[in-house]
Amino acid sequence: MLERNQLPLRPAAPSFAAAWVAIIAGASVALSLVLACITPFVALAAVSAVILPRRMALRAVLLTWLANQVVGYLVLGYPQTFDSFAWGLAIGIAAFASLAAALGVLRLAAGLAVTMAGAFLAGFIAYEGVLFAATAVLPSGDGAFSAAVVAEVLLINSLAAIGLICLHAGAASSRALVAAQPGPVLS
């Protein structure tokens, strides 16, 4: 089991670090295909913030958002309108706000479970807050922020976070992506 002092992961080689960011982006593509409009950016941002070095977390969120946009416009046929592009940008901003909020929680001296839960909650609030603010200037449906919709987004992100934590724990326990000895963190 991972302990808080083992994080962020210290990849054994830069190629493994790049592979891990690619795994996160690949998970985004798969989740985008399955869930379309509810890609779990909060889960991806929160887990990346806690588990990965800061620069790798930034890359993971950027690649995740880019992959989501490519899948949406090229595979799922999102409309190519100003409103659609603006919402895509708003979602990207919300994903980075989620990451920033999750990274802010890392300053707290707490155990791994509390840190992860705090990062997730802070990220969720930031993500939803940015999207809600975007509704002031972008068109949205009346039910976009209904309790049922927000609960569904929370559930999907929660399940995705659990899955990503399990993937990270498996990688750490196998030592495939983690240096055997503490060393400098790749950023």
Burial class for 131, CB neighbours closer than 10 Å (0-12, 13-18, 19+) = buried
Q: What is the pLDDT of residues 141-175, one digit of tens each?
A: 778 888 998 999 999 999 989 988 887 777 666 65
Token representation of residue 129? 């807050």
Do residues 106 and 115 touch, judged by C-beta distance below 8 A? yes
3-state secondary structure of 108: coil
Q: What is the pLDDT of residue 1?
A: 43
Q: Please count the CA atoms within 13 angstroms of the CA of 2 that sit on its side-chain side.
A: 26
Pick the more confident residue, 73 or 39: 73
Q: What is the pLDDT of residues 76-86, one digit of tens each?
A: 889 999 999 99
Percent of the chain with pLDDT over 90: 40
